[in-house]
Every structure is written in structure tokens, then in C-alpha cells.
Amino acid sequence: MVARRYRDEYIALISALFAYGSAKQIVKFLDSLDFGLLSESEERISSALKGHYYRFQNSDDVIAIFIALRRLREVGSLEDIFYRGYRDREDILDGLWGLISTIRDIYPYSSRGYDF
């Protein structure tokens, strides 16, 4: 529902990452997020998302996801980053691991609510 309102792969990824639990609560949480923050400074992201949490993700986790994806946008599209890992063996898991590795490299935050 929320991802359809936007034509942005990064917003779709955020929506997918938080798509567990009650559908009503998922939509409520996603509606509370300002996706425009993906184009803002890291300081602005941190201050705007302080206090936002969802189930197993605390405020720091939500902030980390936004900062990591903001930095990732500067690297390229999700499709391009995925394809770099996928292309050698044409393996979807390689593509996913490539994407995850890139995210971890550009923002090496780690917590129980963030690691994937």
C-alpha cells in the first residue's frame, strides 16, 4: 500500500524491511515516516527519526536504515548494486549478498534489530 504511493526503489525496500506483523501496524508505522529524509543530511535524519521504532527495531536501528540507504543512493540504484553481485554466476543469492555487503560497507552499524 505505502510503497505504491511512491515510485522509488529505496522506499519500496524500506517498506519491505518493515513488512512483518499486523498489516494495520505496518501501514501506521510506514505512514509515520518521512521518506524525504532519504535526501537530507545524516544529522537531519537522526533528529527527525529520534523516537521512531517498530517492533524489533529501536530508534537507532530506524535511523541507521535511513542513513545507510541515503548513502547507498549515492552509489547507485538498487538494481545496479544487486546486478554487480548477480552477474558473474547469475545467482540471485549472490546478488542479494552483494547488496547486503555494500550496505554494510557504507554504514557498518550493527545491532539485533538491524542486522540482516
Mean pLDDT of all residues in 96-112: 95
Say how far apart CA 107 and CA 14 lie, in whole Å.
16
- Predicted TM-score (pTM) of the model is 0.91
| CA–CA distance, 51 with 94 (Å, rounded to integer) | 35
- For residue 116, what pLDDT is reported? 66
**Span 51-83, pLDDT tens digits:** 999 999 999 999 999 999 999 999 999 999 999
Nearest to 69 by CA among 94, 23, 24, 100: 100
Position 60: which residue type? D
pLDDT at 37 over 80: yes
Q: What is the mean pLDDT of residues 30-59?
A: 96
75 within 8 A of 106, measured Cβ to Cβ? yes
Collapse the DSSP code of 44 into the 3-class scheme (helix H, G, I; strand E, B; otherwise coil) and give the result: helix
C-beta separation of 102 from 80 below 8 A: no
